[in-house]
Amino acid sequence: MEWMAWTTPTALFFVAIALLLAGMTTWELRSPSISRRGFLPISTTRGDRLFIGLLGSAYLHLLVVGVTGWSIWVASALSLVWLLSVMRWG
């Protein structure tokens, strides 16, 4: 694994994504989701909201770090808030 510079934030990010996907898979197998509408303009399932939340979090993270120059931890916290908001109310 020497081909990539594994920093602590990078490793935590990939571990969190892997755990999130495993948890969502287990949840979906135990309790299949139904489509619903929230603040997003389309009807979505839990998996849809996870995908939209992760994609939005990635863009938000890049925007915060690139434009404001804030810490990567601040950008990660804002991205987590966005993801949780989409999962709950999206």
Q: What's residue 73's pLDDT?
A: 85
Q: Domains in the chain: how many in total?
A: 1
Residue 66 vs residue 6, higher pLDDT: 66
Which domain does 51 fall in, by range?
45-89
Secondary structure letter of residue 1 according to DSSP: -
pTM over 0.85: no
Residue 71 lies in a domain: yes
22-41: average pLDDT: 91
What residues contact 48, with CB distance under 8 A and at least 6 apart? Answer: 42
Confidence category of residue 2, pLDDT binned at 50, 70, 90? low
Q: What's residue 5's pLDDT?
A: 73
Residue 62 lies in a domain: yes
Burial group, residue 29, by CB count within 10 angstroms (0-12, 13-18, 19+): exposed
Residue 22 lies in a domain: no
